[in-house]
Structure 1
Amino acid sequence: MASNKPTEKTYGQLQYAYDYFNKKLFNARLPEVVFTYHRQNRVMGYASFQRWEQGNNTYVDEIAINPEYFTKYPLIEICQTLVHEMTHIWQGHFGKPGRRGYHNQQWANKMQEIGLMPSATGKPGGAITGEAMMDYVLLDGPFMRACKALIKQGFSFPLLDRFPVFRVDAPITVYDDKDNPVTLDQHYQLKDAPSAPMSAYKDDLSVVAIQPHDADEANVSSINSEQISNGAPDILTTTRPKRHSGRVKYICKGCSCLFWAKPGLNVGCLDCNLKFQEED
């Protein structure tokens, strides 16, 4: 029975899409996650690993999505954001992630396998590994086929943010196996007219096609393989990009005392005799 409660309707659609793409693209191997909405500037989504605890040393990852993009961006791009973050979840559980901030070859291979091509430029020819990484949709790849089928079912988000991120109207563009741009109509069918150059793509955390962002501002963070373990990591691992304020949060895990200061400090809590942990 469909719910009329706004929270259940909005989060329920994210859960439905996650389960759908998990089955279609990841053989239903991905674990359950907690979904949250966030509104960090210029970030469509990110993953935080082992962010939640449910007792008995059992931890749950989080995927955060920015709803400010839902109103002006094509639904295929929102789904791409979700699937991109699901690929990070896959690598955290079944692969070996690169050092923090680096998208390695294993991640790039998995993205291509599911139909999303990594590119440092957001277009064919860009490096497929690196710190700040974009990607674009491959024509008739597994992701595009699955996403078109999902949208054809009538999938949508029932509530939209009234104050969305601005986006200049741009065609939905994907690339064929010869790296040629192909424009899609609103039903995700090929247009008869020649394709315009791709004018929309994603930064890491948007995960085809969003308005170009400066690569150095993306400041993308991947996950640290040493922090993915059976126990809870001392430092949160996340694909969320760092803010540019120059200050980070320090927290004592014993008494939860916290303060903000410049990164890299070696400070401790005298009450608990524990070192303050630095968090983004």
Structure 2
Amino acid sequence: MVSTPTEEIYSKLQKAFQKFNDQLFGGSLSNCVITLRANKRTAGYFYKNRFGSKGNDNLCHEIALNPEWFGVTENIDLYQTLVHEMAHQWQFEFGSPSRAGYHNEEWSKKMQSIGLMPSHNGKPGGKKTGQNMSDYVISGSFFEQSYNQLVAENCIVTWYDRIILSSNLAEPIKAKLEEEIKQIQIDGGNESKLKEKELIINALSKIEIIQMKPAGNNGDKNKKKYTCPGCDNNVWGKPNLNLICGDCLKKFELNDI
């Protein structure tokens, strides 16, 4: 019986991987390591032969999922991401991948055959190949049928990462959900969908946004330069440091030049 958050998350992800593998890929995909990795640029990725074993020479692929997205998107989006990356795994094992990150026609056709329509903007009419690709569910497809089975089996991941590394993620999603809820209420639509969107908005209220320092030298703007008046050695550090040179035992002076 699942009793911890770790077991709950990974057992459901593994069960979903196995069902999608059996029903969408004919059980052809090798086992992979499913990881949770926060990455502000993507909801997930496939990395070939990422893991090795100390006990033997075996290698194992990685499918990484970004838990920052779990709380701010619907359950079906998580499994769309999983299958999107499984299609990359299928192409590596049986097809001909293009350059890193590129979604070519072979990948696109495989996605369509299993029930996800590639689209560069996630909407009907979008480009079906490209560097950065999203997708949407084809109504009545194999993917939709498999997903509905997972829902019926309560194979839904409810845990999510509350700490988001970029403010660019939460606010647009919240605004979009609020508009969708209004439309569902106007149309008198699906109560279960309405409840799920309301749960996501509730999750958004619990999220903390962490602003990351820019990469490179931009993160060093608050550091000051200190120079030893005796030997001209330089060091950089935070303001108001009291430093003594180890070579000539003189006090470093703040250098604002």
TM superposition score category, shorter chain reference: 0.5 to 0.7
Q: Residue in 2 aligned with 1:100?
A: 100
With the length of structure 1 as denominator, give the TM-score of the two structures.
0.59
Comparing both chains, which one has the higher relative contact order based on Cα–Cα distances under 8 Å and sequence gaps of 6 or more? Answer: 1
Identical aligned residues as a percent: 40
Deviations 1:54-111 (A, max 9, x none): 2543210011111122223110111101110111111110111112232111100000
Q: Residue in 2 aligned with 1:88?
A: 88
Q: 1:185, 1:56 → 2: CA distance?
A: 51
Q: Residue in 2 aligned with 1:239?
A: none
Residue 142 of structure 1 and its aligned partner are, at CA, apart by: 1.0
Residue 125 of structure 1 and its aligned partner are, at CA, apart by: 2.1
Deviations 1:117-158 (A, max 9, x none): 112232222221122222111111111111112112222225
Equivalent residue letter for 1:36? T
> Secondary structure at the residue paired with 1:20?
helix
Deviations 1:148-203 (A, max 9, x none): 1211222222533334652221549xxxxxxxxxxx835469xxxxxxxxxxxxxx
Q: Residue in 1 aligned with 2:6?
A: 7
Q: Residue in 2 aligned with 1:223?
A: none
Task: Give 1:1-280 correspondences, 5 Å limit.
Answer: 2-54=1-53, 56-163=56-163, 166=170, 167-168=173-174, 169=177, 171=180, 185=190, 187=192, 245=215
Q: 1:108, 1:31 → 2: CA distance?
A: 21
User: How many residues are aligned here?
Assistant: 182
Alpha carbons of 1:188 and 1:115: their partners in 2 closer, same or farther (altered >3 Å)? farther
Residue 245 of structure 1 and its aligned partner are, at CA, apart by: 4.6
Alpha carbons of 1:245 and 1:49: their partners in 2 closer, same or farther (altered >3 Å)? farther
Equivalent residue letter for 2:16? A
Q: 2:29, 2:216 → 1: CA distance?
A: 35
> Secondary structure at the residue paired with 1:77?
helix
> Secondary structure at the residue paired with 1:111?
helix
Unaligned runs of 5+ in 2: 182-188, 195-213, 218-257
> Secondary structure at the residue paired with 2:132?
coil
Larger Rg: 2
Equivalent residue letter for 2:43? M
